[in-house]
Amino acid sequence: ETGVTQSPTHLIKTRGQQVTLRCSSQSGHNTVSWYQQALGQGPQFIFQYYREEENGRGNFPPRFSGLQFPNYSSELNVNALELDDSALYLCASRNGPGETQYFGPGTRLLVL
Amino acid sequence: DQQVKQNSPSLSVQEGRISILNCDYTNSMFDYFLWYKKYPAEGPTFLISISSIKDKNEDGRFTVFLNKSAKHLSLHIVPSQPGDSAVYFCAATAPGSARQLTFGSGTQLTVLP
């Protein structure tokens, strides 16, 4: 059974650019959540997708957007990057909103 | 407004002794609590959880205690092993369609051989 995978592992962008991060959910999992972890802090919820529909969103601006595909993989898009967007972006999947979330290794984004 | 707080950024314990990690929360709607462990360059790994209808849950060396009246939970690791050295995150969820996790800021546990 393959766990949650994320790509790329590291990324460097400049302010104002756009970025797309990818996540493959664990086999059989239909729910994917994205979290942002800034240095020295715990992960913060960005949004969640359940069966290709967004069904929850944290306190993040609209320039953070996402998609979930029929195979339940997901993308996180961030437009107009700001320096404060530098963080570890974590994807988590589970088999339904009430189940335990399993995390991928994350994508480390640095915005210069 | 931090709804889940871990007030100890770090904790050092001798191998074989008990590690106690603490967590406080403010949102009375939280009804399910989890502990995750995180090694560098890896994502958080689920460790143990507890429902608000219980006050204790045990899994091997790991026990989580919940005190609802004090809005406090703790994770006990007995005996502590060097491989337990990691950052431990407390997380909570409330009823709702997303059931998203609200995390504390983490405690770095170091188990000394």
pLDDT digit string (tens) for B1-55?
Answer: 789 999 999 999 999 999 999 999 999 999 999 999 999 889 999 999 999 999 9
Surface of A (65-104) touching B: CB under 8 A: 90, 92, 97-98, 100-104
Q: How close is the nearest chain B Cα to the Cα of A98, in Å?
A: 6
Q: How close is the nearest chain B Cα to the Cα of A43, in Å?
A: 6
Q: Do B100 and A56 touch (CB under 8 A)?
A: yes
Surface of B (10-69) touching A: CB under 8 A: 34, 36, 41-46, 49
The predicted-structure confidence for A26-39, as pLDDT tens digits, reads as follows 888 999 999 999 99
Q: How far is residue B72 from each of residues A55, A64, B35, B87, B92, measured CA to CA in Å? A: 29, 33, 13, 19, 11
B83 CB contacts (<8 Å, ≥6 apart)? B111
The predicted-structure confidence for A16-70, as pLDDT tens digits, reads as follows 999 999 999 988 899 999 999 999 899 999 999 998 999 999 999 999 999 999 9
Q: Give SS3 for A23.
A: strand
Which chain A residues touch B100 with a CB distance below 8 Å? Answer: 33, 45, 48, 56, 58
Find which of A6, A32, A93, A100 to mutate to test the B interface (most B CBs within 10 Å of its CB): A100
The whole-number pLDDT of residue A1 equals: 57
Which chain A residues touch B92 with a CB distance below 8 Å? Answer: none
Q: How close is the nearest chain A Cα to the Cα of B95, in Å?
A: 9
A17 CB contacts (<8 Å, ≥6 apart)? A81, A111
